Amino acid sequence: MTHEKRYHQCTICEACCGLEFEVEDERVVSIRGDAEDVFSHGFICPKGAALAELHEDPDRLRQPLLRRGGELVPASWDEAFEAIDAALRPLVAEQGADAVGVYLGNPAAHSTSLVTYVQALLTGFRTRNRFSASTVDQIPKQLATGLMFGTALSVPIPDIDRSRFLLMLGANPMASNGSLFTVPDFRGRARRLRERGGRLVVVDPRRSETAKIADEHVPIRPGTDALLLAGMLHTLFDEGLADLGGVAEHSQGLAALENAMRAFAPETVAARCGVEAGTIRRLARELAAADGGCVYGRIGTTTTEFGTTASWLVDALNAVAGQLDRPGGAMFPKAAAFAANTRGRPGAGGGLRVHRHTSRVRGAPEVLGEFPCACLAEEIETPGEGQIRALITIAGNPAVSTPNTGRLSRALEGLDFMLSLDFYLNETTRHADVILPAPSPLEHSHFDVIFPQLSVRNWVRYSPPVFGRAPGQPEEWETLLRLLGVLLGQGPKPDIEALEEMVIGLQVNAATKAEGSPLSGRDPAELRADLEPRRGPERLVDLALRSGPYGDHFGARPEGLSLARLEAEPHGIDLGALESRIPEVLRTPSGKVELAPELLMADLSRLAAELERPAPALSLVGRRHVRSNNSWMHNLPMLAKGPLRCTLQIHPDDAAARDLRDGAEARVSARAGEVRAVVEVTRDIAPGVVSLPHGWGHDEPGTRLAIAAEKPGTNSNRLADEQVLDPLSGTAALNGIPVEVAPA
């Protein structure tokens, strides 16, 4: 019997915990937080502990499925790719690349294979019809920070470990473990913040788990955070508290911002927000006075009609209160690899260009190369040139996650062909003609590309696979390259090695030619020889690390980082506390922090008009639970046990007015659709607001999710309106949906 410990990063959520696996005879016997991990120090949540169940889940697909005579049946990889080639090659040849839509889901950001090679797929195959979970999530923040700081991932993070005041809006890290804020053990860090005399304030229509451990909970009317933030900014200017500190000389637009905020006095916005003007003024003063303080906004602020504006005002507030880029405030991480804000010439750059073209049917503008996923159904349904006739979903479940899923599910049925890269037969993939499974999260190596760019400390870590792959199971980057070959007309068995060589070749050449690159002028052939014998993501990671800000620069800085160095450190390498980075971090064309970007300023009249709009009698918001992850971990016994979590939370007064009792079934209706949900009467939710989590509704026919189907819950996105978006970013307003609730 063999018995050993193996270390691997958890890739379920953004906290990036290092885990310790005890393995006996190639089976997991225990999973713990890795106490020696330099970043997460032993923290783990129930989802990390459930990774063995995910690995062993009998419903997890281990073989491609292919539709034959209406049924999805097991097939070989070659048969699956023959079917894909037969469907896609003529379609692309006749109707062009836009006839094939691509939807990218959230786990793509957590998989090294997918993050590094989806880009290759989408540069090689240029369809305009690109969609992703980003437009039901964080794109407003990326757009705002891109315009302010120059790249779409230059997001300032709360420096919580040194902070003395943290104001959180629309985020519940006690359940979510943080987002655009990689912060393993939020609870411990929040406790230490309070122990050092700091204050935690939570703005949320719900008394969330985070509100419960905070010093103060401020209930707010859904969708009005941008107004509240504008009221705080107004206060700073009005009371002479505006002071940018060291950032002043590196910023522009302050006067324009001050002028624009005049319309949003706390006394003007208070009634619409449902927050007293005195509270808004006090919070602004507290932020400005804090010896290290920060405002942070997340899902409850981004997935609203004013998502981009709210995201902008969060960082404008941090700047104007003198809390941007200082210890304890909002700071920029410096990742070891792949960060656009560590590439090119420090201090200025091309900035973010958006709204370069518009979607065919609705004319929604492109942002970061994609269209709103709220437009997906109409792009499939509406005939004409550029109509989507085939769809590829990669690690996504849009039939549950995106607005008006009733309409989208019908649209998916009307496709000529659908391919899904996924390891579950679920609400989305049941519509597919071919499903290609990914390896389990324990069967591939991991190097985190995205989240070190959003972390409370600088760190780096590489995890080899815990287990070898099942025979015949390709790595997911190989599947992507094979698909690229098919889309390029190379047939069902393209030369994957040649495609891989092409990808690394382009990267090496770019690194030797780019302005400001430490490899500038080096010989590409020499670098490529130095990367041997690595292939795939490992080769790209090694290149990125070695050419990155801590890298060995291929021998020029021998003490620097390389993948080989990381392989010797299973618990990761700590790269230190966050450091001030302005102006070096900036990539705006002006070389300044843009406090008042034109695109955002132009939208303020819409925000002012919002002051006049009556609030709905009842509005729906979402929530998360620590034992659930979006739509796809409900099939694991450890997480599924316990009470039903997909309940409609409602305040006792609202329940009484509608004759609804705790545990009864309610009918919830909105413009987009209607659902039934079990009522949970609770004072934890503000009057006038109801809450239903997303990611449920596992009772659709044709899925294979035995455990999830036992407690299916309700698909809340049947209620979300695909017509109601934040117009700047295309992000759907998933919070603040007007609904009516009645006994079923």
Ligand X SMILES: Nc1nc2c(c(=O)[nH]1)N[C@H]1C(S)=C(S)[C@@H](COP(=O)(O)OP(=O)(O)OC[C@H]3O[C@@H](n4cnc5c(=O)[nH]c(N)nc54)[C@H](O)[C@@H]3O)O[C@H]1N2
How near is the Cβ of 220 to ligand X at its closest, in Å? 5
Q: Is the peptide bond between 533 and the residue preceding it cis, with omega within 30 degrees of 0? A: yes
Q: Examine residue 454 and tell whether it contacts ligand SF4 (CB under 6 A).
A: no
Report yes or no: 236 and 577 within 8 Å, Cβ to Cβ.
Answer: no
Q: Examine residue 15 and tell whether it contacts ligand SF4 (CB under 6 A).
A: yes
Which CB, 105 or 492, lies closer to Mo ion?
Answer: 105
What's the number of CA atoms in the CB half-sphere (13 Å) around residue 217?
A: 17
Near ligand SF4 in 121-180, by CB under 6 A: 177
Instruction: Return the range that interacts with ligand SF4 (CB under 6 A); candidates 39-47, 266-274, 557-565, 736-744.
Output: 39-47
Element (H, E) at 116: helix 112-124
Token pair belonging to 669: 């209706």
How near is the Cβ of 440 to ligand SF4 at its closest, in Å? 15
Tell me if residue 670 falls in helix, strand or coil. Answer: coil
| Opening angle at CA 313, ends 280 and 721, nearest 5 | 100
Query: What does 16 interact with, of Mo ion, ligand X, ligand SF4, none (CB < 5 to 8 A by kind)?
Result: ligand SF4
How near is the Cβ of 137 to Mo ion at its closest, in Å? 4
* Beta strands per DSSP E along 485-601: 573-577, 593-594
Q: Helices marked H in 206-262 — which ranges? A: 209-213, 225-238, 254-261
In 10 A of CB 344, how many CB atoms?
Answer: 17
The binder of ligand SF4 chosen from 7, 8, 10, 206 (CB under 6 A): 10
Report yes or no: 443 and 469 within 8 Å, Cβ to Cβ.
Answer: yes
How near is the Cβ of 193 to ligand SF4 at its closest, in Å? 19
In degrees and rounded to multiples of 5, residue 407 shows phi and psi of: -65, -45
How near is the Cβ of 54 to ligand SF4 at its closest, in Å? 11
What is the contact mask toward Mo ion in residues 106 to 145, using x (rule: CB under 5 A)?
Answer: -------------------------------x--------
The binder of ligand SF4 chosen from 20, 23, 28, 47 (CB under 6 A): 47
Which CB, 164 or 624, lies closer to ligand SF4?
Answer: 624
What is the contact mask toward ligand X in residues 678 to 697, using x (rule: CB under 6 A)?
Answer: ----------------xx--
Element (H, E) at 391: strand 390-394
How near is the Cβ of 54 to ligand X at its closest, in Å? 9
Report yes or no: 687 and 649 within 8 Å, Cβ to Cβ.
Answer: no
The binder of ligand SF4 chosen from 23, 28, 39, 45 (CB under 6 A): 45
How near is the Cβ of 11 to ligand SF4 at its closest, in Å? 7
Which CB, 536 or 736, lies closer to Mo ion?
Answer: 736
Report yes or no: 61 and 425 within 8 Å, Cβ to Cβ.
Answer: yes
How near is the Cβ of 461 to ligand SF4 at its closest, in Å? 12
Near ligand X in 695-734, by CB under 6 A: 695, 716-717, 720, 734
Near ligand X in 46-105, by CB under 6 A: 105
| Opening angle at CA 729, ends 723 and 730, nearest 5 | 20
Which CB, 173 or 253, lies closer to ligand X?
Answer: 173
Query: What does 44 interact with, of ligand X, ligand SF4, Mo ion, none (CB < 5 to 8 A by kind)?
Result: ligand SF4
Report yes or no: 451 and 463 within 8 Å, Cβ to Cβ.
Answer: no
Query: What does 735 interact with, of ligand X, ligand SF4, Mo ion, none (CB < 5 to 8 A by kind)?
Result: ligand X
How near is the Cβ of 449 to ligand SF4 at its closest, in Å? 15
The binder of ligand X chosen from 34, 85, 204, 610 (CB under 6 A): 204
* Gap between the Cα atoms of 592 and 254, Å rounded: 12
Element (H, E) at 480: helix 476-487
The binder of ligand X chosen from 98, 185, 225, 378 (CB under 6 A): 225
Q: Examine residue 176 and tell whether it contacts ligand X (CB under 6 A).
A: yes
Which CB, 184 or 396, lies closer to Mo ion?
Answer: 396
**CB burial class (10 A; 0-12, 13-18, 19+) of residue 549?**
buried
Which CB, 528 or 671, lies closer to ligand X?
Answer: 671
Q: Examine residue 16 and tell whether it contacts ligand SF4 (CB under 6 A).
A: yes
Q: Examine residue 214 and tell whether it contacts ligand SF4 (CB under 6 A).
A: no
Report the C-alpha dihedral over residues 129, 103, 144, 286, rounded to 10 degrees: 160
Q: Name the closest residue to Mo ion (Cβ).
A: 137
* Gap between the Cα atoms of 249 and 319, Å rounded: 12
Which CB, 134 or 619, lies closer to Mo ion?
Answer: 134
Q: What one-character DSSP code corresponds to residue 219?
A: -
* Gap between the Cα atoms of 414 and 410, Å rounded: 7
Which CB, 82 or 448, lies closer to ligand SF4?
Answer: 448
Report yes or no: 139 and 355 within 8 Å, Cβ to Cβ.
Answer: no
One-letter identity of residue 205: P
The binder of ligand SF4 chosen from 17, 380, 670, 737 (CB under 6 A): 17
Report the candidate in 9, 47, 54, 10 with the shortest Cα–Cα distance to residue 28: 54
What is the contact mask toward ligand X in residues 96 to 115, using x (rule: CB under 6 A)?
Answer: ---------xxx---x----
Report the candidate in 681, 652, 651, 682 with the shortest Cα–Cα distance to residue 664: 681
Which CB, 304 or 714, lies closer to ligand X?
Answer: 304
Q: Examine residue 14 and tell whether it contacts Mo ion (CB under 5 A).
A: no
* Gap between the Cα atoms of 10 and 465, Å rounded: 12
* Gap between the Cα atoms of 620 and 622, Å rounded: 7
The phi-psi region of residue 532 (left if phi > 0; otherwise alpha if psi is between -120 and 50; otherwise beta) is beta
Which CB, 666 or 708, lies closer to ligand X?
Answer: 708
Query: What does 694 interact with, of Mo ion, ligand X, ligand SF4, none (CB < 5 to 8 A by kind)?
Result: ligand X
Report the candidate in 1, 3, 7 with the shortest Cα–Cα distance to residue 465: 7
Report yes or no: 225 and 203 within 8 Å, Cβ to Cβ.
Answer: yes
- Residues in binding contact with Mo ion, number by CB under 5 A: 1
Contact positions vs ligand X (CB under 6 A)? 13-14, 105-107, 111, 133, 136-137, 169-173, 175-177, 179, 203-206, 208, 220, 222-223, 225, 298-301, 304, 394-398, 401, 421-424, 426, 438, 476, 621-626, 628-632, 694-695, 716-717, 720, 734-736
For Mo ion, the binding residues (CB under 5 A) are 137
